[in-house]
Every structure is written in structure tokens, then in C-alpha cells.
Amino acid sequence: MVEFVRSNNLFLRVQETGRAEADFGRYDVRRVVRTIYVLFSGAEIPIAKEGQETMDLADLSTPLPEWFTEEDLDVYAKLYEKTGFRYPLRMPYRAIRKIPTGGLDAKFQVPVFIVMGEKDYAFKFPGLEAALRGGAMDNFMPDLKVTYIPEGCHFVQEQFPEQVNELLLAFLKDHLTCHRSRDVRESPPLFQQDPTLEQSRQAAMAQEIEHTHLPIRGINLHVAQVGRGELGTVVFLHGFPEIWYSWRHQMLAVAAAGYRAVAPDCRGYGLSDQPPEQEEEEASCVWDDLVADVAFLVGMDFGAMPAYEFALQHPERTRGVVCLGVPFSPVPFSFFHTMPEGFYLLRWGEPGRAEADFGRYDVRRVVRTIYVLFSGAEIPIAKEGQEIMDLADLSTPLPEWFTEEDLDAYAKLYEKSGFRYPLQMPYRSLHKMPQRLDAKFQVPVLMVMGEKDYAFKLPGIEAALRGGAMESFMPDLKIPYIPEGSHFVQEQLPEQVNELLLAFLKDHPVAA
């Protein structure tokens, strides 16, 4: 093996101390990773001609492989910006000579499974295909299986994850270990959890989320989705100042459990189009077209209102409703006579006032202030001479569960959408809520409430939740409380919310 590597120009270049560093150093990290993925996903061995370096073999006009997205590239680039390339060049390329040579009598005592893409450039290394197809490896590995994926490249696990996963799971199943040398409960973890690695894992999982735009009633609606949906579909509806990203933890959890998670950006939010300024169509009409089949609806904040309304209008297309932060109300919310003038709902309902308030700061600062204020247990109320944005400044820390990276994600999307429509819907449309005094839900409802949600202190909310008023409209209602939960409980305590959500889905299977 060492001999065929030494005869190859690619490995000679990177083995030469300083050469790859100088080659890579001409470009930023993202460009280097991009070029390597372009080159090494091909069927030909990357070999530079005289006067060329390896990075010269592809430029930005060469497209990325179709299975490798710009978002994937961002993840890799971010991590290599942290580590650099010093050690990755040393190990493996400058350590190949250290491969032990005394293994001619090697005999593997465990099963071995090799998955090989037939369009992997490595197939063209001298002797490699012969070793794989000619049976030479069987001498060392009595229990060997080699599977070929016809269109597979060197990065076959990223290119064809479903095929590789199927092969991997079958191998694991065929060699399931039933014996443990000691009780696993007494075994310390092999590795301590590295927060950086955990963040990378979550980032990689997030790349599984697909993004698309659906034309619905004249609006291109941005939709994030993940999961195959063997057990059904779960539609997530966000509130303010949220976007699809607010459901990131729940989307991955339900997808892993076998459901298809669908989270749109509401009209006028995030990556969705802006509705016309003088639009009259009710927002609930959009969900009529989005939810085409039987689904669970999960709503947060004002997203709970269309979830409730859809379930009432279309019980045959609703398997169950889960809502956070806002209980069902049979009449439009009105706080004019029960709350002071500085109450945020009254201030933001006044055309132009919130726009002037928000306009004093950049978008990131506005979103930051809202998350700081609305994650607390007190209702945001401005005093005379104050505006809502004055209630917190940059010295007030973000909630510990809301990172600067989360804030960046929100700010980026609100820089696109602005706040015009988010202020119109919901704050200037609450009077349009339908009266449902005779409402009777025909589907099960789960209402998850954080006990430190400021909404608990809004007039009538706690009484509606704890006093049994909602049960008269919802015969199959369950209300679990999360003691430390804030208004953004699904982001704050995702594991607890996910556990409740998954249990509800399991208790109400779509096929039932």
C-alpha cells in the first residue's frame, strides 16, 4: 500500500512539508475545503501538472457536487477555521510511512464490512481494485463482505446516505452484541462530551433540514422540512418574533421518531414573501392549502390561533393539536380596558409606533431586546415617556439557552423581511379573531405551558388554564406545566417539550 501511495503525485505533493500549506494559504479556508470536495468527489485521481498546485485543479466556476450544499460547506469551513490544516496534513499524509509493515500474518478476528463507491477515484490507485475484487483481503479477513455502490464517489456516505445507512444498519443488526464484559451502568463514558463536538453534531443534523418555497394563494411561502413521515406529518406554526428556526429542536426530534416535520415561515416573515399592504384575506386560508393531508398541528404564541382554527374547521384533516403559550379563546383578545397604556400589545397595535421604536436600532438589537424581555416572567409594560425597546439594553444578558448564533439566525431573516407584516399579524389583527362561543374540538389537544411564562399574568389566562374553562371546548384536553418554562419554552427546555410532544404523537397515531 505504501508503494502505490508513493508513486502517486497527489500524495507526494501533500507529503512535502510546507508545500500544501503554501498552496492552501493562497485562499481562504472555505475556498480550500470547496476545492477539495470538488476534486475528490470525482472519478479521476487529482494530479497536478508541472507548474500547477493541487488547488489549481478547480476554480469557483466548477460547481459543487449536487449532494453537497453551500450550507454543508459552511459547516466544514467553520470547523477548519478553528483547527487549521496543520495537523490534518500531518495525519494522515505525512505519517503514512509509519504504517506498520509487520502485518503480513494479520488475521482479523472480527467481521469486516467495506463499502466502496465504484466511481471513487481511489479505485484507480495501483493495486486497489485488484485487492478488493481479487480476494487478496479475504486472506486477512475471514469474515469479510465488500459491497459496491455503482455511482458512489469517495464521499459516498454523504452522497448516498440512505444506501450507506441501510448497509450499515444491516451489518450492525447481523452482528448484534448480546454479551457485555461488565454492567454498562458501572462503565464510565469512554469520552467526555466536548461542547464543540456537540455543536458540530447538531449543525450537521440541521443540514438534514430541507428548504423550499411553495406558491400558495399568490405568496411564495418558505417551508423547512425534515423526515420521511412513516408515522405522519407534524406542521409547526411559529409566533413573534419567531420563524421556522424556532422549531429546530422539535423538528429533528419528531423526524428521528419517524414523522415528517414541516415548519413554514408565516407570510411576511423570514424567507416567505410579503403579502400586499392592503390584504384582506384571512391568514388561516393559507394553512388550508399547506396542510393537504391529515396532520398534527403544533402552534406557539400567535401560531396557536391558526392551529386552533384549522382544527375546528377541518377536524377530518387534523390528528391532534399541540399549543404552547396561548390558550384557546372563544372571543377576540382585547386588553384595552384591563391593561395599562404602556402594555406592549397596545403599543404595538398602534400603527407607526413600534416602527418608530424599532427604527432607532438595528434589526439584531431589536430581536435581542424582544427575546430578553419576553423570556422573563413579567409582562413588558413601558412607563410614560418610555418605549418598549427602552425596557432592556445591551447590558442585559441574553437568556442562557439563547446563543449569539441563534440571535444571528433570527436577525438575518428579519433583515430580509423587516417588521411591517409581523406587526400587522398578529398585533393589529387581533380584532379579526372569529367568535367561537359554541366551539367543540373533535380532536385531542395538548397545551404545554411554562409556569414562568409572562403570559400567565395576562388577565384571564391562568383562570382559563387552571379553572377548567378550556375543557368545555376541548373534551380531550391535557395541560402539562413546566415549572421553569418561559414563553419560549420549546427553545429553552427542548428535551422536556420534545418528550411531551412525542408522547402525545405516540398516543394518537395517525392510523388510529
Q: Where are the alpha helices (DSSP H) in 152-259?
A: 156-159, 161-174, 195-206, 248-256
Closest CA to 370 of 340, 392, 353, 387: 392
Name residue 248's amino acid: R
What whole-number distance in Å separates Cα of residue 366 and Cα of residue 418?
Answer: 11
Closest CA to 118 of 88, 166, 160: 160
Catalytic residue chosen out of the listed positions 301, 357, 406, 453: 301
φ/ψ region of 188 (left if φ > 0, alpha if ψ in -120 to 50, else beta) reads beta
SS3 assignment for 82-134:
HHCCHHHHHHHHCCHHHCCCCCCCCCCCCCEEEEEECCCHHHHCCCHHHHHHC
508 close to 320: Cβ distance less than 8 angstroms:
yes
* Beta-carbon contacts of residue 68 (< 8 Å; ≥ 6 apart): 37, 41, 155, 158
Closest CA to 218 of 300, 286, 319, 120: 286
CA 20 to chain centre: 35
What whole-number distance in Å separates Cα of residue 495 and Cα of residue 250?
Answer: 9
Instruction: Kindly state the cell numbers that stand for 310.
Output: 384549522
What whole-number distance in Å separates Cα of residue 135 and Cα of residue 143?
Answer: 12
For residue 296, the cross-strand partners are 234, 320
Give the HSE-up count for residue 35: Cα atoms under 13 Å, Cβ half-sphere: 18
The dihedral built from the CA positions of residue 231, 232, 238 and 242, taken in this order, carries a sign that is positive
Residue given cell 422540512 in the structure block: 225
What whole-number distance in Å separates Cα of residue 145 and Cα of residue 163?
Answer: 16
362: annotated active-site residue: no
Burial of 324 (0-12, 13-18, 19+ CB in 10 A): buried
Question: How many residues in total does the chain contain?
Answer: 512
Catalytic residue chosen out of the listed positions 37, 76, 427, 454: 427
440 close to 472: Cβ distance less than 8 angstroms:
no
The dihedral built from the CA positions of residue 118, 157, 40 and 92, taken in this order, carries a sign that is negative
Instruction: Kindly state the cell numbers that stand for 132.
Output: 478488493
What whole-number distance in Å separates Cα of residue 135 and Cα of residue 393?
Answer: 69
487: annotated active-site residue: yes
What whole-number distance in Å separates Cα of residue 89 and Cα of residue 96?
Answer: 11
What whole-number distance in Å separates Cα of residue 329 and Cα of residue 308?
Answer: 9
Instruction: Kindly state the cell numbers that stand for 206.
Output: 440541521
Q: Which residues are catalytic?
A: 301, 427, 487
